Chains A and B, each alone.
Chain A
C-alpha cells in the first residue's frame, strides 16, 4: 500500500534477539514435520507480496522454508511497487484461477473484494486461534469479512502528528487548535504550514476517513450497504475546507503526498505534519538541527472529548483458493508472521508489527521511541470502508475532496453520497 513506507533501522540488539528467538521455532517446526509430511520432495509455496528491498521478507522466507523440515519451500515473488499495480496483478491471476499463487500479501483494503469473489480461503479452528493470538484487533477487523477471518495481519502502519517543539511547546489536541496555532505562527512570521496529504489519490481518502471516524461517524453503514457519513461527514468536509482556506495550508496542498509533506517539514517551512513514522529517521539524517525539536503526538481530535481514530494501513497474508496446498500455506503464513519474523520485519524492514506485546518490548521501544503512541493510535484506529467496491468508493472520495480548496461542504457531501451509492451498486463509470 502507498502509505506504508519502508524504513531501514539498524539495531544490532534487536537483530541478535531475532536470531536467538528463531532457533527454538526451527526446532519445533522440525519436529512437527515428522508427523505429517511424506519424506522427500518439498512442496513449493509461491508467496506474492510487496517488493521488500530491506531483505527482511527474503530472510523470513528462507528461515521458514528451512524450519518446515523439508515439507515446503517458499518462493518470494515481488509484486510491483505501487498498490494499484499489485492489485491488478493479483486480481488478474486470481480471476484466471492461477494455481501458482499460494500466499498473498493483501493491502488492508482488498480483503473484502477477494473474499467476496471467493479467491481467498477463510481461517478456522486452531489456525485461526493462532493467528488471532496477541494480534491487534483493529488489524483483525481489516482481515474479517462477513464475520469470518480471511487473512492474517502481517504488518501495520498509522499516522501520528509530528510537530516542532521550538515553535509549539505543547502539541495541539484538536484540529481547531492546530489551525489556530498555525495562524498565530503565521502572524508572527514563523514557519506555520500544516503538512497533510492533499493530492488526488488514496492519501486524501485516508485523511477524510480519519476525520469522519474521529468525528464519531463512518463512511459506510455497519453492513456496508449504503453511505453513512451524515453530520460527521459534514464536519470532516468543514475541517478540510477550513484548513485549505487558512494561512496554515501549504500552497501546494493539492499536489502533496506523504513524501512532499516530509520534504516540506525537513525544509523548515512547516510547523505540523500528519504522517507515518518513516519521517522520523529521515529527519534524523536529513536535518539533524531540526531533529532536536522534532516531536510527536497523537493524531489531532475533531472534538476535544472524543479520541481521534486515525486510519489503519498494512498488509494481511491470505491463502489463495486455487492453492494446491492450503494447509501448508497456512502454516507457512503463521511462520512468516511469528514473533521473531515480525521483529525482523520491524527492525530491518521498518514496518510496525501487528503483535501487541512487541510494543512493550524494551529493545523494540529503543528502535521505535514513539512505540507507545503508535500502539495507542493503532488500538483506536479506524478501518477504511469494508466493501468489495472499495476502489470505486475511494476514487469517488478522492475526486470529491481534492483539491480541498474547492470543497463546498453541503454539495460535496451530496456528491460523495451519490457517488458511493453508485459505486456500491457497481453502476456507472470509474473516472
Chain B
C-alpha cells in the first residue's frame, strides 16, 4: 500500500546515473517504511500479539482459577473441541444463521439499493430511514428486540398465542436472532451494493433497452455481471461478520436452548468455565474458519481483496 514503486530506469542512462537513482529510491523506500512504522507497530501490538498469545494459550492446559497447574498439552485442546458434539452443534447453528441471514440480506439489500438508486422522490429521506438500523448500537437494538419478544411486556410477543415464549424455543429463537441480524445489517449490504450499482454504465442499460431486453433481462444479463465484484465483496464482508455473531445472541438468549454460536461457545468456555486453553482453542478455530471463508471467496470466486475492490474490476 505504501511501498514506493521504483521508476523504470531508461536504458540509455549511464551506470553512475543509475546508481545515484537507485540510491534515491532506496532512501525514499526507507522513508516510506519509517512513515508506516508507527502503524505497523500499533498493528503488531493490538492484532498480532493477541493472536499469537491466543495460539500459545490454546496449547496449554490452563484454568484461570489454578494457574499453578498450567502445563503444555500440545494440540489436545483442539482434539477435545473438534471431537465434541457441542462444538459441532454450535458450528451448525452458526452456519445456519450465517447462510440464512446473508441470503435474505442480499435479496433485500439489492432491492433497497435499487430503490435508493432509482427513487425519484425524497432520496435523502429514504436513504436516511433505510440506514437508521445500522446506526443503532447492536446491543441496544438487541435489548429492544428482547423486550419486544418477552411475554407480558413485549408488543411482538403479544401477537402470539398466550403462553408462548419464542425466545426459549430453539428454532423460534434462532429465527428471531436471524431477524434481528437482517434488520440490523441489511443497510450495510445496501450500501455496498449501491456502490456497485453506480458502476453500471447507463449507456449500456439504454442500449440493451433499445435492443429489446426486458427489465429482468437487463438485471440478470447486464447489472448482476457488472456488479459481481461488488456483490462478492458485500457477501464476503457479511459472511465474515455473520460467522462471528455474538452480541445479538448474547442479549437475546445468552446461547441457551441450543441457540449458541461458536463465539458464544468460546465466551462461555473462557469466562464461565474459566478454561483459557479450551476457550483459546475455540477462538483460534473461529479465526481459521473465517480465514477459510475469505480464502474461498478470494481464490475461488475471484473476489477482490478488501482495499483493491474498485481497481480490480
Contacts and interface: CB of A to CB of B under 8 A. Distances in A.
Q: Do A and B come together as binding partners? A: yes
A91 B168 contact: no
Given A252-B165, A431-B86, A426 B63 contact: yes
Contact of B268 (A201, A251, A430): A430
Interface string A204-224: 000000000000000000000
A90 B97 CA distance: 33
Given A84-B272, A91-B64, A117-B66, 4 more contacts: A199-B168, A429-B81, A429-B84, A429-B278
A429 B86 contact: yes
Interface of B: 63-67, 80-81, 84, 86-87, 152, 163, 165, 168-169, 256-257, 260, 265, 268-269, 271-275, 278, 282
B57 to A, nearest CB: 14
A430 B273 contact: yes
A389 to B, nearest CB: 8
Interface string A153-174: 0000000000000000000000
B168 A429 contact: no
Interface string A343-364: 0000000000000000000000
Given A117-B65, A255-B165, A255-B168, A431 B268 contact: yes
Instruction: Identify the interface centre among A255, A263, A427: most chain B CB within 10 Å of its CB.
Output: A255
A24 interface: no
Contacts of B165: 252, 255
18 contacts: A91-B65, A91-B271, A117-B65, A117-B66, A200-B256, A200-B257, A254-B168, A255-B165, A391-B272, A428-B86, A429-B80, A429-B81, A429-B84, A429-B86, A430-B268, A430-B269, A430-B272, A431-B268
Contacts of A252: 163, 165
Interface string A247-270: 000011011000000010000000
A236 to B, nearest CB: 22
Given A428-B80, A429-B86, A429-B278, A263 B152 contact: yes
B80 A88 contact: no
Interface residues of A, number: 27
A95 interface: yes
Contact of B80 (A91, A116, A119, A427): A427
Given A429-B87, A430-B268, A431-B260, A391 B168 contact: no
A228 B265 CA distance: 29
A213 B269 CA distance: 29
A427 B269 CA distance: 11
Contacts of B86: 428-431
Interface in A287-322: none
A426 B64 CA distance: 12
A88 B268 CA distance: 10
Specify which of A119, A427, A428 lies most central, judged by the most chain B CB atoms within 10 Å of its CB. Answer: A428
Contacts of A428: 80, 84, 86
Nearest to A91: B274
A25 B81 CA distance: 56
A256 to B, nearest CB: 9
A88 B271 contact: yes
A394 to B, nearest CB: 10
A223 B182 CA distance: 51
Contact of B275 (A95, A199, A430, A431): A430
Complex A-B, nearest 7 residue pairs according to Cβ-Cβ distance, in ascending order:
A117-B65, A255-B168, A430-B273, A255-B165, A429-B86, A95-B64, A431-B86
B34 to A, nearest CB: 37
A88 B272 CA distance: 7
A388 interface: yes
Contact of A429 (B67, B163, B257, B269): B269
Contacts of A116: 65-66
A430 B279 CA distance: 10
Interface string A80-115: 000010011001100100000000000000000100
A113 B65 contact: yes
A392 interface: yes
Contacts of A117: 65-66
Interface string A400-431: 00000000000000000000000000111111
Contacts of A201: 256
A246 B67 CA distance: 49
B60 to A, nearest CB: 13
A326 B172 CA distance: 50
Contacts of A199: 168
A92 B276 CA distance: 12
A282 B63 CA distance: 43
Contacts of B65: 91, 95, 113, 116-117, 119, 388
Contacts of A88: 271-272
A322 to B, nearest CB: 14
Contacts of B67: 95
A201 B169 CA distance: 14
A68 B92 CA distance: 58
A270 to B, nearest CB: 13
Nearest to B152: A263
A91 B278 CA distance: 18
A392 B64 contact: no
B146 to A, nearest CB: 13
A54 B219 CA distance: 64
**Which of A117, A199, A392 has its CB near the most chain B CB atoms (within 10 A)?**
A117
Contacts of A84: 272
A430 B84 CA distance: 10
A392 B273 contact: yes
Contacts of B265: 429, 431
Contacts of B256: 200-201
Contacts of B81: 429
